[in-house]
A and B are shown apart, each in its own frame.
Chain A
């Protein structure tokens, strides 16, 4: 027992003497979570909080343009900035100067065009029914065109979604106009409300059900993404501290000296793993505490802790084991501390980039989404996503455990064979 205690104590002392390593493992994630969460918060809010900033320039001479703007406002999906005095040719520059991502231009003939089209439809229907109608010809105005402006940085599917919403409100306006026109032609003016109610308002409803295991309605926000993401990143950054420790011990002969002693090398490895797994748990405690108590004070979303605490603990444990195992392997293969630090740090940044730490994988192109499967950081993050957003289903977590288990095994075997080649084990 004294031997195990001494071995753990040695690792602890080496750790607390490594000031740079400690700063990288504890200060870096706090700073990253703090900075990146603030930066990304507005982007997540735009997607999640149904407040799409929309610049509207309504030049319509009739009433339908106003109706469209009213419907868009009533929907609650848009934060509308009406700037009717802006000429169409200046709308692009106005959009950019106001920092808006989307703009909608309603032309002067918007109402006239819609009414003209409604009259045509009504006339065709009356003629087909063999009913008499007023033969006075009305002025023909072609169907209007709405202009949709978007900032090039806006994703294409996002733009299409917004256009789809506008299109659905246009259907409401057009159908309403047609019904009014038909009733007026048949001298039934003022009685169209019942039909409009039946045709326009009484549509098939879509019942949205969140497919999580605990019926959680939690949605990804900057905190829910950044806190686990940068914690995982920091966990893997222990390669700088642990990796260089191992290189030092290999190179200075401490490991070989231990081989002459009545002890097992497994004790050394066990102590290193135990201490650094504890470090990882502290990292999680620190950054998650920040997400729960400090970020909300700054007006940022609060981190929601998953309800399945046992699964949460298992994900933390396997993620930290993956990080420790990777650091052990880098430490075993690097020839110098510089190699361990340089390669270790760069490889973690690359793993982080392809694993969805920097930007979520769902915004990556298909090929990169496939590549992300080869990043251990992706699977760690996936584990936290399953816990935070999907209620921590063991069924879904099993893939995370399987991949990370294989990764840990490969790293441990790689470490074992390298140390065996060097006759340390």
Chain B
């Protein structure tokens, strides 16, 4: 922890109605402001469930979650205004253009028309989408769609950004562009909570991580400290050491 806490997660558990076991059990984490926090774990570990709870998509079964802005708790609509969410799916309208998608989702974040237009053009430029701004997203490559997905999540300049596998299925160029831009917004104070299966990418990108397996946090903290503690040379080795080599389906 390097700065004031912006998200405080205390003993959060989640059990879906149809499930026999908990998806999350007693998860407790503190995420600092301006951190890049990696939520890592094998398939089905509970990463997406935790992000969904943090974003308010699903409720936790027990435990508490608090959001803070400048040490003051925030909730409700204000909390929603301060967070951005980039889901794993292409959660936008493929029949519309990037410009039209950004206009719509920006308005849903209560942005004023003039601010929205300025912000929209800036993002299209930065993410290399200006040339295609008036073409339907349905005709885009996977990498371009990922960038549109990201742009929608950050159109309102959120304080906290949740990213669920933001670089899955994209080429190296698109991945670099996404990571580069995420670093840039982090440097201006945006807190990033991120999940990925790319261990090398996570190792390079994250400042702190939490390893989740079977719905429990099995390791958390500073990446270098964790490597030293478990006597491994990289994140992938740490991951295998703590979660095993068995298939996870």
Q: Of the listed stretches B77-85, B172-180, B223-231, name the one at the interface; the rest are far from the partner chain.
A: B77-85
Task: Indicate if A194 sits at the interface (CB-CB under 8 A).
Answer: no
Across-interface contacts of A18 in B (CB, < 8 A): 95
The residue in B77, B106, B108, B109 that gathers the most chain A C-beta atoms within 10 A of its C-beta is B108
Query: Least Cβ distance of A247 to chain B in Å?
Result: 13
Across-interface contacts of A14 in B (CB, < 8 A): 93, 95-96
Query: Least Cβ distance of B161 to chain A in Å?
Result: 11
Query: Least Cβ distance of A17 to chain B in Å?
Result: 4
Across-interface contacts of B108 in A (CB, < 8 A): 3, 6-7, 258, 261-263
Instruction: Determine which of A7, A13, A260, A423 lies in contact with B96 in the assembled complex, contact meaning CB atoms within 8 Å.
Output: A13
The 7 sampled A-B contact pairs (Cβ below 8 Å) are A3-B108, A6-B107, A13-B100, A18-B95, A253-B89, A259-B57, A262-B80
Query: Least Cβ distance of A274 to chain B in Å?
Result: 15
Instruction: Determine which of B92, B96, B112 lies in contact with A2 in the assembled complex, contact meaning CB atoms within 8 Å.
Output: B112
> Given A2-B107, A262-B110, A423-B57: A257 and B100 within 8 A (CB)?
no
Task: Indicate if B44 sits at the interface (CB-CB under 8 A).
Answer: no
Interchain CA distance A252-B90 in the complex, whole Å: 6
Task: Indicate if A292 sits at the interface (CB-CB under 8 A).
Answer: no
Interchain CA distance A263-B109 in the complex, whole Å: 7
Task: Indicate if A10 sits at the interface (CB-CB under 8 A).
Answer: yes
Task: Indicate if B242 sits at the interface (CB-CB under 8 A).
Answer: no
Binary contact track A260-298/B, C-beta < 8 Å → 1, others 0: 111100000000000000000000000000000000000
**Is A254's CB under 8 angstroms from B93's CB?**
yes
Identify the B interface with A (CB < 8 A): 55-58, 77-78, 80-81, 83, 85, 87, 89-96, 100, 103-110, 112-113, 136, 152
Interchain CA distance A27-B105 in the complex, whole Å: 32
Give the A interface residue count (CB, 8 A): 24
Interchain CA distance A17-B139 in the complex, whole Å: 14
Across-interface contacts of B56 in A (CB, < 8 A): 259-260
Task: Indicate if A9 sits at the interface (CB-CB under 8 A).
Answer: yes
Query: Least Cβ distance of B19 to chain A in Å?
Result: 15
Across-interface contacts of B83 in A (CB, < 8 A): 260
Across-interface contacts of A6 in B (CB, < 8 A): 103-104, 106-108
Interchain CA distance A5-B112 in the complex, whole Å: 12
> Given A10-B104, A252-B90, A253-B89: A260 and B55 within 8 A (CB)?
yes
Interchain CA distance A323-B108 in the complex, whole Å: 27
Binary contact track A1-32/B, C-beta < 8 Å → 1, others 0: 01101110110011001100000000000000
**Is A262's CB under 8 angstroms from B81's CB?**
yes
Which are the 5 A-B pairs with shortest beta-carbon distances?
A6-B107, A253-B91, A253-B89, A262-B80, A17-B95
Across-interface contacts of B93 in A (CB, < 8 A): 10, 13-14, 249, 254
Task: Indicate if A419 sits at the interface (CB-CB under 8 A).
Answer: no
Nearest residue, chain A, Cβ from B88: A253
Nearest residue, chain B, Cβ from A4: B107
Interchain CA distance A271-B15 in the complex, whole Å: 34
Nearest residue, chain B, Cβ from A17: B95
Interchain CA distance A69-B103 in the complex, whole Å: 78
Across-interface contacts of B95 in A (CB, < 8 A): 13-14, 17-18
The residue in A13, A14, A249, A261 that gathers the most chain B C-beta atoms within 10 A of its C-beta is A261
Instruction: Determine which of A252, A259, A261 lies in contact with B109 in the assembled complex, contact meaning CB atoms within 8 Å.
Output: A261
Nearest residue, chain A, Cβ from B84: A260
**Is A256's CB under 8 angstroms from B107's CB?**
no
Nearest residue, chain A, Cβ from B103: A6
Query: Least Cβ distance of A16 to chain B in Å?
Result: 9
**Is B105's CB under 8 angstroms from A261's CB?**
yes
Interchain CA distance A10-B96 in the complex, whole Å: 8
Query: Least Cβ distance of B121 to chain A in Å?
Result: 17
Nearest residue, chain A, Cβ from B55: A260
Across-interface contacts of A261 in B (CB, < 8 A): 80, 105, 108-109
Instruction: Determine which of A3, A5, A260, A263 lies in contact with B57 in the assembled complex, contact meaning CB atoms within 8 Å.
Output: A260
Nearest residue, chain A, Cβ from B86: A257
Across-interface contacts of B85 in A (CB, < 8 A): 257, 260
Query: Least Cβ distance of B172 to chain A in Å?
Result: 26
Q: A6-B103, A252-B94, A262-B78 are in contact. List 17 more A-B contacts (CB 8 A).
A: A2-B113, A3-B107, A3-B108, A6-B108, A9-B103, A10-B93, A252-B92, A253-B87, A253-B90, A253-B91, A257-B92, A257-B105, A260-B80, A261-B109, A262-B77, A262-B81, A423-B57
**Is A256's CB under 8 angstroms from B87's CB?**
yes
Across-interface contacts of B112 in A (CB, < 8 A): 2
Query: Least Cβ distance of B88 to chain A in Å?
Result: 8
Across-interface contacts of A256 in B (CB, < 8 A): 57, 87, 91
Interchain CA distance A261-B77 in the complex, whole Å: 8
**Is B80's CB under 8 angstroms from A10's CB?**
no
Query: Least Cβ distance of A379 to chain B in Å?
Result: 34
Across-interface contacts of A3 in B (CB, < 8 A): 107-108, 110
Nearest residue, chain A, Cβ from B136: A17
**Is B91's CB under 8 angstroms from A7's CB?**
no
Interchain CA distance A10-B104 in the complex, whole Å: 6
Interchain CA distance A7-B77 in the complex, whole Å: 18
**Is B57's CB under 8 angstroms from A254's CB?**
no
Across-interface contacts of A7 in B (CB, < 8 A): 104, 107-108
